[in-house]
Homo-oligomer: A and B are copies of this chain.
Amino acid sequence: MVTPYYLKVKKLDFTAGSKLIVLINEEEAYHFGIHAGDKVSICWRGKKKLVVDINLSDKQIKPGEIGMYEEIWRKNSMENNEIVEMTVLGRPASIQAIKKKLLGHPLTKEDARSIVEDIATNRISSTEIAYFVAATFLYSYTDDELYYMTKSVAETGEIIKYSGTVVDKHSVGGIAGNRTTMVVIPIIASLGLKIPKTSSRAITSPAGTADTMEVLAPVSLSAVEMKEVVKKTNACMIWGGSFNLAPADDKMLKVTYPLSLEPYDKMIVSVMAKKVATNVKYLVIDMPVGDTAKILDMATADMLEKKFIYVAKRFGIKIKVFKNIGLDPIGQGIGPTLEARDVLRVLQQKEGRPMDLEEKSLELAAELYNLVKNIGMAKARKEVALALSSGKAWSKMKEIIKAQGGQEKIDSEGIELGNVTHSIKATKSGEVIKTDNKNINALCRILGAPLDKKAGIYLEAEYGKKVVAGQSIYTFYASNEQRMALALAAVDKLKIFTIK
């Protein structure tokens, strides 16, 4: 039987909006074993019953008293000093559910929902979230759990619906310069599909898609502004951080940071919840596999692919996971401005454009187009290539830039780069046998990226290609001499290319 406690009513002149709150004395709560945030039921005059939240008071409420917020005593014409019976209904259900997961039992739909809801609404602390993340790190999710978690994370945040069918392309990340999004979106939109894209900023990489797009147009749009852009152009390329999409996901991410844990299941939930919340119906996942990517080997990629497909199916999303080998950067520019120039060179079909960026973008666009139209990859490839070569994609890009509030008149060669530059030359001739992504990132950050959008590195050598002694193999861009000095001090230790 659940233990009831008896307390004397004290009417308070506090209000709390829609939430029903009672206050009890802090020290007494401690001895009762009751915590702030516990749910209790209160009964009085033998029958009336309410379920309320406990808050604690160390001064206003004495031991033996229960403080009633105005909503409660006014509506129920409660009197000062009358005795109420209080029964603890237990900690938030989420705490029980977290404990259950920690003991190795799978979560039900209700468990998942209660955990995610309490995370999203700050009802449980980061310590409690850490227990949950530890548990999910140790016991991977069942298929059902993956579905329940994704659904809960999506539904506890903002849901954005557009008229018509929404398609999307998502990279799981890990490869520098992988700015395919900014090529794929205008291609797909120019073919008449709706593709409103929200992207992240860089965390520890030299640029995120949102940082790069921001070189060309504002990306911090409100929901209303975004819908307007999509209505006009079928697409957008904006920063996801200004929406309340899947808020529980951000809170879990924060807790994983100190130990740099990233359970794979959490990644799937994180990606898919945002797609569910934005009502995406066709989705291509770009999954680079390699030493310096997030996914280190094909076996892991295959396992993740299966899980992505499973979750997508339960939400009625048609999905294609595009696994590809990612050993060196895509494109030649690294850093927001240099990457934006690469993207424009491809869209404008300039001579000397980075062909690896173009090819990967066409491949992803074709996969997505075929997923929607089901016309076969050969035909899809032809159509997306035509959209690019004909200039349709470039026109669409200009439309999007304009709709988001950017300068319509723009050319890849007109983009302003860091005005302090320095070329690094090959000290011997030979073949590039290794490109170190980690060192590229580190050097870009020393140069000031992504805080300084104009800082970065332009790569002139490439994995598998020959170089001759004395040739420039990469160029540093910085906004001032001091940053350049810091980067030049680092070049001996942070080798980008290994030549043999």
Contact = CB atoms under 8 A, between A and B. Distances in A.
Interface residues of A, number: 61
A455 to B, nearest CB: 10
A4 B493 contact: yes
A410 interface: no
Contacts of A138: 102, 138
A446 B195 CA distance: 62
A134 B130 contact: yes
Contacts of A446: 5-6
A456 B129 CA distance: 39
A5 B442 contact: yes
Interface stretch (A254-262, A276-284, A286-294): A254-262
A7 B450 contact: no
B490 A99 contact: no
A203 B30 CA distance: 7
A255 B127 contact: yes
B134 A448 contact: no
A438 B3 contact: yes
For the complex formed by this chain, how many copies does it contain in all? 2
B31 A204 contact: yes
A130 B258 CA distance: 12
Interface in A247-275: 255, 257-259, 261
Contacts of A202: 31
Interface-centre pick from A8, A98, A127 (highest chain B CB count, 10 A): A127
Contacts of A203: 30-31
Interface stretch (A71-79, A150-158, A420-428, A479-487): A479-487
Contacts of A126: 126-127
A259 B99 contact: yes
Nearest to A3: B442
A261 B125 CA distance: 16
Contacts of A257: 35
A494 interface: yes
Contacts of A8: 482, 486
A14 interface: no
Nearest to A27: B451
Given A3-B494, A485-B83, A31 B445 contact: yes
B258 A128 contact: yes
Interface in A408-446: 438-439, 442, 445-446
B33 A204 contact: yes
Interface string A125-166: 111111101110110000000000000000000000000000
Contacts of A85: 489-490, 493
A141 B377 CA distance: 56
A378 interface: no
Interface-centre pick from A1, A128, A259, A445 (highest chain B CB count, 10 A): A259
Given A28-B445, A128-B258, 12 more contacts: A1-B493, A5-B446, A8-B482, A31-B202, A31-B450, A64-B448, A64-B482, A64-B486, A95-B259, A102-B137, A126-B126, A128-B130
9 contacts: A5-B486, A30-B204, A63-B451, A64-B448, A85-B490, A91-B258, A102-B261, A127-B129, A127-B130
